[in-house]
Structure 1
Amino acid sequence: MHGWGVTEALAGLPESVVLLFALLTQLADAWFVFGGLALLYLLGDERLASDPRRTGATLIALATCALAATVALKTAFGVHRPAGAGTATPPAWLPTLFDTVYASIATGDGFGFPSGHATSSSVVYGGLALSLDRLWSRRRRVLAAAGIVGIVTLSRLVLGVHHLPDVLAGIVAGTTVLVAVWGLAGDNPERTFLAAGVLGAAALVAAFVFAPNSPDEALKAAIALGAGAGAAVTWRRVGGEYPPLPARVALPGVAVLGGAWGGIYVGELPIPVTVLGSALVVAGVVALPWVVHQRA
């Protein structure tokens, strides 16, 4: 069996357990990663990192690298998900109002190898462990990151949207991306965003070549390309160390920009529009501390 029977063995877990893992898998979902890292960038202070704005920007760039690498690898391998990954039966006790939400968080579509959630969690939480130099010891941060990655990868198996090789390959891919990009760019946001842009361009080519009938993959690559390019230019011009923003500014800012980014993510817009829109949104997040500082 492709997944060595692990996914099938987990299929009979109680509905409450499956719902719990459907919620836990959001720790590596695109909306959670974008919103969480944007808030870290805008609100983080010296209790977390010695250079919080640089750290937050680098982490956003790393997450963008993870998105691009996932698209490139998934389209190159072209491996499909387990049967039934695109459907989910909500628990009988869950109010009907939440059926659509449950289906959204408990299913998967597109290619399955490597797991995007495993890749993303390895990059993002591994990056947090490397970057948050004022929080705990590095050993504790690495252990916490490994625990979160383990929970996310297990959730993909419990939900039946991946086989075991998919999530193992995702961990390897994510770790490789993190080590490679960190080794080349360190905690330099401009270089890391440039790496994201280059990976996004490569992923876009891979999507056109290997998966011309899967336009969603090309759109995700276009998002990574736009985010990397737009944020690299913006950081070079206005990036720097600014005080944390007040929550009354940061929260609405992330809500507006995050909503726009989410619309681009699901909007199935033309590729050029997707690239430009993603560039403007992520550049807006990067520039927001500078804008507030200029108006102070």
Structure 2
Amino acid sequence: MHGWGVTEALAGLPDWVALLFALLTQLADAWFVFGGLALLYLLADERLASEPRRAGATLIALAICALAATVAFKTTFGVHRPAGAGTATPPAWLPALFDPVYANISTGDGFGFPSGHATSSSVVYGGLALALDRLWTRRKRLLAAGGIVAVVALSRLVIGVHHLPDVLAGIVGGTAVLLAVWWAADGRADRAFLAAAAIGVVALVAATVFAPDHPDEALKAGIAVGGGIGAAVAWRRIGGEHPPLPGRIALPATLVLGAAWGGIYAGGFPLPAAVVGSAVAVGAVVALPWAVDGR
């Protein structure tokens, strides 16, 4: 049995538990990760990290690495999700207005191995534990990151969109990607962005060769390539330890640039346009502290 029966055993949990974990799984969803890290990059100060702008930029790079690595892994293995992963029955007590939202956050499509959410959470929250060197102790940060990763992994099983081997492989693969990129970057954000672009190229090749009938996977890989290159160019030219942005600038900028990037991620664009659009959107986020600082 591919899933070892765990997903099936969790299928009978109460509706409110399924809804709770459908919300918790958003901790590793693309919109939450990229929006949250963009805000962190723009707002962080020395209370969180000794070099907050470099730390924030590196974390954005790691998120792009996670996206690219997920595409590469999934298209190479080509394993499908559990039966019924693409459908969800909203709780009877949930107002009908929220039925589409529930369906969106409680279902999954595409390939299932390894879990993209488990991969992303391992890379991103593990990266936060490594990068935020002035927040708590490293041990506390690692424990908190491990707890979030475990919750995200469990959420994928509770809502029935993955099997246990999927999330375990995602945690292992994500941790490996995090450590490899962290070592290769050696404290330089531009190297982390270039690593993201390189993994994106690998993912694009994998998607083209192994999943030619799934153009959305190639699109995600192209987004990673563009984002990595655009951010690397921006950081090398104007990146640095500029002051944090005021919230009145950071929040609207994140909404606008995040919406632009999210629109590209949602699909419907030709691959070249997605690459260029992602490069512009992510590069603009990286450049914004310099543009506001004016130095």
TM superposition shift of 1:268: 2.0
| SS in structure 1 of the partner of residue 12 of structure 2 | coil
Letter in 2 for 1:34: F
Give aligned pairs, total.
295
TM superposition shift of 1:267: 2.8
* Residue in 2 that maps onto 1:5: 5
Give matches, 1:217-236, under 5 Å.
217-236=217-236
* Residue in 1 that maps onto 2:56: 56
* Residue in 2 that maps onto 1:171: 171
Give matches, 1:57-136, under 5 Å.
57-136=57-136
TM superposition shift of 1:187: 2.5
Over 4 Å off, 4+ runs: none
Counterpart-to-counterpart distance in 1, 2:98 and 2:284 = 33
Letter in 2 for 1:36: G
TM superposition shift of 1:188: 1.0
Counterpart-to-counterpart distance in 2, 1:188 and 1:153 = 30
Letter in 2 for 1:256: V
User: 2:219·2:267 contact (CA, 8 Å) conserved in 1?
Assistant: no
Counterpart-to-counterpart distance in 2, 1:265 and 1:293 = 29
1:139-165 deviations in whole A, cap 9, x for unaligned?
Answer: 000000000000000000000000000
Letter in 2 for 1:238: I
* Residue in 2 that maps onto 1:186: 186
Counterpart-to-counterpart distance in 1, 2:108 and 2:87 = 8
User: 1:59·1:128 contact (CA, 8 Å) conserved in 2?
Assistant: yes
Are 2:45 and 1:45 equivalent residues in the alignment? yes
Which shifted more, 37-46 or 261-270?
261-270
Counterpart-to-counterpart distance in 2, 1:144 and 1:42 = 23
TM superposition shift of 1:186: 2.5
User: 1:208·1:218 contact (CA, 8 Å) conserved in 2?
Assistant: yes
| SS in structure 2 of the partner of residue 224 of structure 1 | helix
Letter in 1 for 2:36: G
Counterpart-to-counterpart distance in 2, 1:79 and 1:267 = 22
Counterpart-to-counterpart distance in 1, 2:106 and 2:48 = 33
* Residue in 1 that maps onto 2:36: 36
Letter in 2 for 1:281: A
* Residue in 2 that maps onto 1:242: 242
* Residue in 2 that maps onto 1:145: 145
TM superposition shift of 1:36: 0.4
1:258-286 deviations in whole A, cap 9, x for unaligned?
Answer: 00011001132100000000000000100
Counterpart-to-counterpart distance in 2, 1:143 and 1:278 = 33
TM-score (norm 2): 0.99
Counterpart-to-counterpart distance in 1, 2:267 and 2:143 = 37
Counterpart-to-counterpart distance in 2, 1:62 and 1:133 = 16
Counterpart-to-counterpart distance in 1, 2:228 and 2:5 = 39
Counterpart-to-counterpart distance in 1, 2:78 and 2:260 = 30
Letter in 2 for 1:13: L
User: 2:77·2:113 contact (CA, 8 Å) conserved in 1?
Assistant: yes
User: 2:216·2:267 contact (CA, 8 Å) conserved in 1?
Assistant: no
User: 1:219·1:268 contact (CA, 8 Å) conserved in 2?
Assistant: no
TM superposition shift of 1:206: 0.5
User: 2:65·2:199 contact (CA, 8 Å) conserved in 1?
Assistant: yes
Contiguous gaps of at least 5 residues in structure 2: none
Counterpart-to-counterpart distance in 2, 1:81 and 1:268 = 23
Give matches, 1:253-292, under 5 Å.
253-292=253-292
1:200-256 deviations in whole A, cap 9, x for unaligned?
Answer: 011001100000000110111011000001100110000000110000000000000
User: 1:43·1:247 contact (CA, 8 Å) conserved in 2?
Assistant: yes
Contiguous gaps of at least 5 residues in structure 1: none
Identity among equivalent positions (%) equals 77
Counterpart-to-counterpart distance in 1, 2:267 and 2:2 = 33
Letter in 2 for 1:111: F
